[in-house]
Chains A and B, each alone.
Chain A
């Protein structure tokens, strides 16, 4: 049986992709950001996930204003890195998992989530930057990916509550997939940032950390945060954090935090990153290696 063994949250600022591609990731500016992912890179090597369900948003790359799906799931065989205006990122193609993706898509529709199905598309920094942050620069990504795109550009995006419920339905779908698969779910984007207008540059450390705290344990209060609060408190682009709630919803009633990282700034944005384990008596710890246990014990 397939199961969701962990949730990972991460910002997906395009500049992080540039830093990785041009080997600037350990300089004075980017060093402290990437250092916060070192723990996760070691942990992922031990976890060896088979598939990542990667919740992200497209930034006017695969989707323009012609079609705006609220929730879309990638059921294709593979996805190329998108040309976002300065050539595609030199990263490996992303391999899909059509069997699992179609299973999830069908299951979600029966659960009354009316998904858009994507068979062909390119994937932009929203999806490839988190892969670079978690896996570095391999010749091929170490696992398959099911892209799950959320509209957080044209208002209204889905509510936090709906995102959380989608996560719950995804977990249920994964549970009913017959093949034995180690599946992670990642929520990406955020944290506080505003890229437009005279208020651009807004950062709210206090609110961001309240949000990180809220992902841990058995409270589900984050799902009730209305859009207007994200807008006022975290800037016009902070709304991306609803995508983290898809991830959180998929982890069940209770979680515990394995790792947490927060840094300001990266370009216009506050970087947030967290690794969560569902904590509902499943005993899903895959970390066998002593290195990782040692790091985890610190």
Chain B
């Protein structure tokens, strides 16, 4: 006997909550659609001959893909936060990290406000605490309370 107990969840409320997490881009269908070709481009770098062609002339290789100019520039600049905004997903972008020959954690650190050594140090010390980075709304409310208290 399967003990499932389905509860309906409203898709609009479900998605709206994702926008409330600080410093996080949840890979929703909207992002997946926007970044489809960006992620498929990254996927193509799993093949050695494609990596070689990309490295020889990045711009020319990107021009073969139906990407918009903003996406191409973000990729050329290795601006990974921008890539996430434009629909990139980190597991796909990871193919670019390995094409560049940089460790996964180093690429991840470029999305934070820390250098790689600082980021590594934070991880060795137990990682980033969830305190204060759970909810944009909750942060705004508590800073409001602090201001109230100060007045």
Contacts and interface: CB of A to CB of B under 8 A. Distances in A.
Contacts of B142: none
Interface residues of A, number: 51
B67 interface: no
Given A65-B39, A153-B89, A196-B90, A202 B98 contact: no
A268 B105 contact: yes
15 contacts: A59-B91, A60-B39, A60-B95, A64-B39, A154-B27, A154-B32, A154-B89, A196-B84, A199-B24, A199-B133, A202-B130, A232-B134, A236-B24, A264-B126, A267-B103
Interface in B115-132: 119, 122-124, 126-130
Interface string B73-103: 0000000110010000111101100110001
B29 A267 contact: no
Contacts of B144: none
Given A86-B98, A202-B133, A155 B111 contact: no
Given A60-B94, A197-B81, A198-B111, A161 B4 contact: yes
B92 A60 contact: yes
A84 B98 contact: yes
B81 A201 contact: no
Given A64-B39, A196-B111, A199-B24, A85 B123 contact: no
A58 B106 CA distance: 22
A201 B24 CA distance: 11
B18 A268 contact: no
B104 A85 contact: no
Given A153-B91, A204-B130, A165 B2 contact: yes
Nearest to B30: A155
Given A64-B39, A153-B89, A198 B81 contact: yes
Interface string B32-75: 10001001101101100000000000000000000000000000
Contacts of A61: 46
Contact of A65 (B32, B80, B90): B32
A196 B123 contact: no
Given A196-B111, A204-B130, A232-B21, A268 B104 contact: yes
A205 B127 CA distance: 9
A84 B45 CA distance: 9
Contacts of A169: 2
Chain B interface residue bracket vs A: 35 or more
Contacts, number: 163
B143 interface: no
A293 to B, nearest CB: 34
Nearest to A226: B9
Contacts of A155: 15, 18, 26-29
A203 interface: yes
Given A161-B4, A231-B26, A236-B24, A195 B130 contact: no
Contacts of B7: 161
Query: Which of B28, B45, B108, B129 is most buried by chain A, counting CB atoms within 10 A of its CB?
Result: B108
Nearest to A169: B2
Nearest to B6: A161
Contacts of B15: 155
Given A195-B90, A233-B134, A267-B123, A85 B29 contact: no
Contacts of A137: none
A264 B127 contact: yes
A59 B43 CA distance: 11
Contacts of B91: 59-60, 153
A168 interface: yes
B10 interface: no
A99 interface: no
A236 B1 CA distance: 33
B107 to A, nearest CB: 9
Interface string A141-163: 00000000000011110010110
